Amino acid sequence: MQPFGLSILRALGAAALALGLAMPLAARAQQAPANTLDAVRGRGHLICGVNTGLAGFAQPDSQGNWRGFDVDYCRAVAAAIFGDATKVRFVPTTPQVRFTALQSGEVDVLSRNTTWTLSRDTSLGLDFAATNFYDGQGFIVRASAGVKAAKELDGATICVQPGTTTEQNLAEWARANRVRFTPVVIETLAEVTAAYLAGRCDSYTTDVSGLAALRAAQSKPEDHLILPEVISKEPLALTVRQGDARFADITRWVHFLLLSAEEFGITQGNVDQMLNDPRPEVQRMLGKTGGLGPMLGLPENWGVAVLKAVGNYGEVFERNLVPIGIQRGPNALWTTGGLQYSPPFR
Amino acid sequence: MSDITLNAATAAPEAAPRTPPASQIGLLAWVRANLFSGWLSTLVTLALAYLILRWVVGFVEWGIINAVWSVPNSQTQACRDMKGIGACWAVVTEKHRFILFGTYPYEEHWRPALCILLFIGLYIVSAMRRFWRSGLAFLWAGVLAVIGVLMWGGVLGLPYVPQERWGGLVITLILATFGLAFAFPLAILVALGRRSKLPAIKAICVLYVELIRGVPLISLLFMASVMFPLFLPEGMNIDKLLRAQIAIILFAGAYLAEVVRGGLQALPKGQYEAADALGLNYWQKTGFIILPQALRLVIPPLVNTFIGFFKDTSLVLIIGIFDLLTAGKTAIIEPAWQGFGIEVYITVGAIYFVFCFAMSKYSQGLEAELNRHRRR
């Protein structure tokens, strides 16, 4: 005979377990391959999940209009579907709610600096359509410290945010390279950058894009140096619901279109002249020949609409990320030694 | 009689009222008694006076004299040069419309602005006792409907504005006003239910209060925004703001219910018995005798909870709704304006303070007025 209290605990535990088991089932039921493209068309606008505010990637300007690299991708997808880049609504999502928002159908596509990892790809019921930005973790130091490479940071104090992969990467890298350091762990972004700027730590580590934005916001950016080493891979990818291959294709090929347009020299300004360009690939991209648009379920001239709305990849990058001090680096086209590579438009 | 008066007048010419010595009355005496009563007190006063003066002078210098009030085209170099010396109010000048209205379409900002004025007008009218009659409920319903029409649009030639574009102060006011307006009646019902003699009703009310009070607001908001949508059928989405609003109503309801129950319990049993002796039924007894007294008793904790919830609405930032505080934080993400958080936070803090202080002051007045009979 067990005590009464214990049996209640058992019952509660069983109930919690049952609920826990039922929840993924409920989540899976949501991922029935509904046709996102038809849903978007019927609704009359695309719903795009963006960051609640990240300089250069997604942020509302003084007039409340969304601007940024990720935001332009939302506009590009809307332009591909509707031929009109304004037919998009932006839903700001926090890191905690972003995947649920996508799974539950609250948003059609996530364009919010989400790192593509195996566990996310397999267990969350979503698909990573295309990596539109290759990021990685780096270090920033004060130029006066005279440090030129990350391995010289032996014995340094390093500011880092807790609970992120950043902290883990730092520890793994330091162990592998026999660098001893004192971590200064601070929760919020504002406080951790303030701590670095106030000199509480010799270096601050986060994704290179974040470091560049921090450096650009200083009154004298040249006082700070971003070290050349990148110690982790953070491929930021566009994310769609699993089980809708058509919509994933559209999202992926919008990204490839932006890349190819840059490769072939098509810009926002010269799209109309390029319609007369004799190169067959250009003609197929812009829908003069080949019938590629309908294969995606899109109008023939989707490429023209996208490029007129946001311009090519280089222009999107130039407009949003270069002003905050992010260089092309690994995001240069493969023709100039970068990683951005588009399959052919055939 | 008259000669006595005469005598008195002649007998005591020195009886004319004399003022006490200057050191015993007025400002001087107060200062002496309270600030310089001993050497220790004098020392503390001087030290504090020095610190306060220095701080005030420093603040005036930073906030007014050396401040930069506006810069052309987001060229913040002027501000950066004055960093630490003068405030950069230019960030507020540039971003004030974003802080107040969030991502609401720029040309339509007059609509949320009007809504804010309507809300404030509603508060003022509701605060005046001479408007306390049944018509007030209709006024609330009417004004809230007008606010809904203004915010959404889509009728009367107003362009439609989807909910995810709402933001800023108006979101804070909507969440707080609707939250408390619906939570308060709910709370009264739950408080009464918890004292009910019907076991089922009592059990439900106890369960509700204990369950909701047992979890933090932030987890309720998470459940509303993360778990709840997964249980809905495909394609059915309840508006994010509505979900957050319901979570806030439920949460505020549980807390207010306990406050109201405190008032019910503080009431002497004789009041209940006297009402019964008059032959009033349950609702007459509650409506005419019990609640008016019980609610009067709990005005301070009620207002305390109101103020708390007004500020708690800022927690919706974790589910990506741009309330006043989040809009303020988002305003300084733009690289040109990074690093001017203090100015923005002071501004946002001042807005919160105005609303909370007004509530607090009003409740003090109300308390004094309603409890006048006790002071006799």
To which H or E segment does residue A132 belong? strand A126-135
Q: How far is A109 from chain B (nearest CA, A)?
A: 15
pLDDT at B133: 78
Q: How far is A13 from chain B (nearest CA, A)?
A: 17
User: Quick check: is A1 in a domain?
Assistant: no
pLDDT at A74: 94
B314 touches chain A (CB under 8 A): no
Last residue of a domain, one of A203, A232, A261: A232
User: Quick check: is A67 in a domain?
Assistant: yes
Please answer yes or no on whether B162 and A101 come within 8 Å at the CB atom: no
Averages of pLDDT over each 10 residues, chain B, 376 residues: 50 67 75 82 91 91 80 73 78 85 86 90 84 82 88 82 86 90 91 89 91 88 80 72 88 91 89 88 86 85 87 84 87 78 89 91 83 68
Q: How far is B45 from chain A (nearest CA, A)?
A: 34
Do residue A118 and residue A245 come from a single domain? yes
Do residue A240 and residue A325 come from a single domain? yes
Long-range contacts from B127-131, C-beta under 8 angstroms, 24+ separation: B127/B362, B129/B369
pLDDT at A64: 84
Going by pLDDT thresholds of 50, 70 and 90, the confidence category of residue A258 is very high
User: Quick check: is A216 in a domain?
Assistant: yes
The pTM assigned to this predicted structure is 0.79
pLDDT at A21: 38
User: Quick check: is A45 in a domain?
Assistant: yes
Q: What are phi and psi of A115, to 5 degrees?
A: -75, 135
Distance in angstroms (rounded) separating the CA atoms of residues A106 and A246: 19
pLDDT at B63: 82
DSSP state of A339: S
Q: How far is A7 from chain B (nearest CA, A)?
A: 20
Do residue A49 and residue A188 come from a single domain? no
Residue of A nearest to B100 (CA): A64
Of A64, A105, A190, the CB nearest to B102: A64
Q: What is the CATH number of the domain that holds A301?
A: 3.40.190.10
Do residue A165 and residue A305 come from a single domain? no
Residue of B nearest to A105 (CA): B235
Last residue of a domain, one of A232, A266, A290: A232
Please answer yes or no on whether B319 and A94 come within 8 Å at the CB atom: yes
Do residue A222 and residue A250 come from a single domain? no
The residues in B 179-238 lying below 8 A from A, measured between CB atoms, are 222, 225-227, 229-232, 234-235, 237
pLDDT at B15: 67
Mutate which: B230, B232, B241, vs A, most A CBs within 10 A:
B230
Going by pLDDT thresholds of 50, 70 and 90, the confidence category of residue A344 is very high
pLDDT at A2: 40
Do residue A130 and residue A240 come from a single domain? yes
Do residue A276 and residue A317 come from a single domain? yes
Using a CB-CB cut-off of 8 Å, the residues of chain A touching B94 are 62
Please answer yes or no on whether A60 and B98 come within 8 Å at the CB atom: yes
- Specify the 3-state DSSP secondary structure of A270: coil
Distance in angstroms (rounded) separating the CA atoms of residues A146 and A153: 10
To which H or E segment does residue B45 belong? helix B39-60
Of A63, A66, A105, the CB nearest to B234: A105
Instruction: Report the largest interatomic distance among the alpha carbons of chain A, rounded to a whole angstrom.
Output: 88
Please answer yes or no on whether B240 and A91 come within 8 Å at the CB atom: yes
Mutate which: B163, B226, B332, vs A, most A CBs within 10 A:
B226
Do residue A250 and residue A130 come from a single domain? yes
Using a CB-CB cut-off of 8 Å, the residues of chain A touching B319 are 94, 96-97
Please answer yes or no on whether A62 and B329 come within 8 Å at the CB atom: no
Using a CB-CB cut-off of 8 Å, the residues of chain A touching B101 are 64
Please answer yes or no on whether B102 and A60 come within 8 Å at the CB atom: yes
B239 touches chain A (CB under 8 A): no
pLDDT at A18: 39
DSSP state of A202: S
Do residue A222 and residue A239 come from a single domain? no
Distance in angstroms (rounded) separating the CA atoms of residues B334 and B348: 18
- Specify the 3-state DSSP secondary structure of A312: coil
Please answer yes or no on whether B333 and A53 come within 8 Å at the CB atom: yes
Mutate which: A97, A113, A244, A324, vs B, most B CBs within 10 A:
A97
Span B290-334, pLDDT tens digits = 888 888 888 888 888 888 888 888 888 877 788 888 888 888 877
CB pairs under 8 A between A and B: 116
Do residue A249 and residue A320 come from a single domain? yes
B101 touches chain A (CB under 8 A): yes
pLDDT at B241: 85
User: Quick check: is A20 in a domain?
Assistant: no
Of A30, A93, A216, the CB nearest to B320: A93
Region A5-25 average pLDDT: 40
Span A40-96, pLDDT tens digits = 998 899 999 998 888 888 988 888 889 999 999 999 999 999 999 999 999 888 877
Name A234's Cβ contacts closer than 8 Å, sequence gap at least 6.
A115, A134, A135, A136, A137, A207
In this predicted model, which residue has the larger pLDDT, A70 or A189? Answer: A70
Please answer yes or no on whether A217 and B232 come within 8 Å at the CB atom: no
Last residue of a domain, one of A166, A197, A232: A232
DSSP state of A340: B
3-state secondary structure A63-125: CCCEECHHHHHHHHHHHHHHCCCCCEEEEEECCCCHHHHHHCCCCCEEEEEEECCHHHHHHCC
| Strand A126-135 to A156-160 pairing | unpaired
Going by pLDDT thresholds of 50, 70 and 90, the confidence category of residue A99 is confident
Q: If interface means Cβ-Cβ distance under 8 Å, which residues of chain A face chain B?
A: 23, 26-27, 29-30, 32, 34, 39, 52-56, 59-66, 89-94, 96-97, 100-101, 103-106, 190, 213, 216-217, 219, 323-324
The range of the structural domain enclosing residue A63 comes to 36-135+235-336
Using the predicted structure, report yes or no on whether residue A8 has a pLDDT greater than 90.
no
Of B92, B87, B100, B94, which is closest to residue B72 (Cα–Cα)? B94
Chain centroid to Cα B263, Å, comes to 21
User: Quick check: is A4 in a domain?
Assistant: no
Please answer yes or no on whether A97 and B234 come within 8 Å at the CB atom: no
Do residue A144 and residue A277 come from a single domain? no
Q: How far is A126 from chain B (nearest CA, A)?
A: 14
Using a CB-CB cut-off of 8 Å, the residues of chain B touching A58 are none
User: Quick check: is A261 in a domain?
Assistant: yes
The domains of chain B, with CATH numbers, are 105-375 (1.10.3720.10)
Do residue A327 and residue A181 come from a single domain? no
Using a CB-CB cut-off of 8 Å, the residues of chain B touching A42 are none
Please answer yes or no on whether A63 and B98 come within 8 Å at the CB atom: yes
Going by pLDDT thresholds of 50, 70 and 90, the confidence category of residue A34 is low
Please answer yes or no on whether A106 and B232 come within 8 Å at the CB atom: no
B162 touches chain A (CB under 8 A): yes
> Which amino acid appears at position B141 of this protein?
A
Please answer yes or no on whether A217 and B94 come within 8 Å at the CB atom: no
Please answer yes or no on whether A90 and B103 come within 8 Å at the CB atom: yes
Token pair in block for residue B213:
């009070």
Please answer yes or no on whether A213 and B335 come within 8 Å at the CB atom: yes
Q: How far is A272 from chain B (nearest CA, A)?
A: 31
User: Quick check: is A25 in a domain?
Assistant: no
Using the predicted structure, report yes or no on whether residue A14 has a pLDDT greater than 80.
no
Extract the runs of DSSP E, i.e. beta strands, from A2-87.
46-51, 59-60, 66-67
Please answer yes or no on whether A55 and B338 come within 8 Å at the CB atom: yes
Of A27, A60, A216, the CB nearest to B230: A27
Domain count, chain A: 2
Using the predicted structure, report yes or no on whether residue A117 has a pLDDT greater than 70.
yes
Using a CB-CB cut-off of 8 Å, the residues of chain A touching B232 are 104
B159 touches chain A (CB under 8 A): no
Average pLDDT score over chain A: 84
pLDDT at B25: 73
